[in-house]
């Protein structure tokens, strides 16, 4: 079972790293304590729409600063949740495929969708519609 907060946190962490921002710089841009950024990325707090709005705003600002306003593609809050939903659907499909192929249930399946394994799955299952945002 994947918790929405952890999946969203991994997506946020991936985007932050992809744009070359440290947690400290990201926190400063968000006007948040660095500890809150860390908790969001780990999925230790329930992420809110207001937080996603702020994150989407900072990601858009960074994209504009790096690519210029004419070439930057900004993020809308709903797009971050939509991407999370698409990845969750793919993870669910992959899980069913694995059960179908092995014809048995996996012991402790949560270990396959936590930490570094979840990071890797997020990258593998990143929806093509959002590839231009990287």
| Alpha-carbon gap, residue 60 to 39, rounded angstroms | 22
User: pLDDT tens across 54-68, in order?
Assistant: 999 998 888 888 888
pTM of this structure: 0.70
- Determine the Cα–Cα distance for residues 10 and 42; give it in Å rounded to an integer: 7
Query: Domains along the chain?
Result: 4-133 (1.10.260.40)
CB neighbourhood size of 123 (10 A): 13
Single out the residue of 78, 91, 80, 82 nearest to residue 125, CA to CA. Answer: 91
**Digit-coded pLDDT (tens) for 75-125:** 777 788 888 888 777 777 666 555 555 555 555 555 555 566 677 777 777
3-state secondary structure 16-58: HHHCCCCHHHHHHHHCCCHHHHHHHHHCCCCCCHHHHHHHHHH
């Amino acid at each position: 079972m994947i918790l929405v907060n952890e999946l969203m946190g991994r997506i946020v962490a991936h985007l932050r790293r992809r744009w070359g921002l440290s947690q400290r710089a990201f926190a400063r841009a968000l006007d948040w304590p660095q500890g809150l950024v860390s908790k969001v990325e780990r999925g230790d707090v329930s992420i809110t729409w207001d937080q996603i709005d702020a994150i989407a705003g900072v990601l858009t600002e960074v994209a504009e600063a790096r690519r210029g306003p004419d070439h930057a593609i900004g993020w809308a809050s709903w797009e971050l949740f939509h991407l999370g939903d698409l990845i969750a659907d793919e993870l669910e499909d992959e899980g069913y495929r694995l059960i179908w192929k092995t014809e048995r249930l996996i012991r402790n399946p949560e270990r396959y969708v936590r930490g570094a394994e979840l990071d890797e799955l997020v990258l593998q299952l990143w929806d093509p519609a959002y590839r231009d945002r990287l």
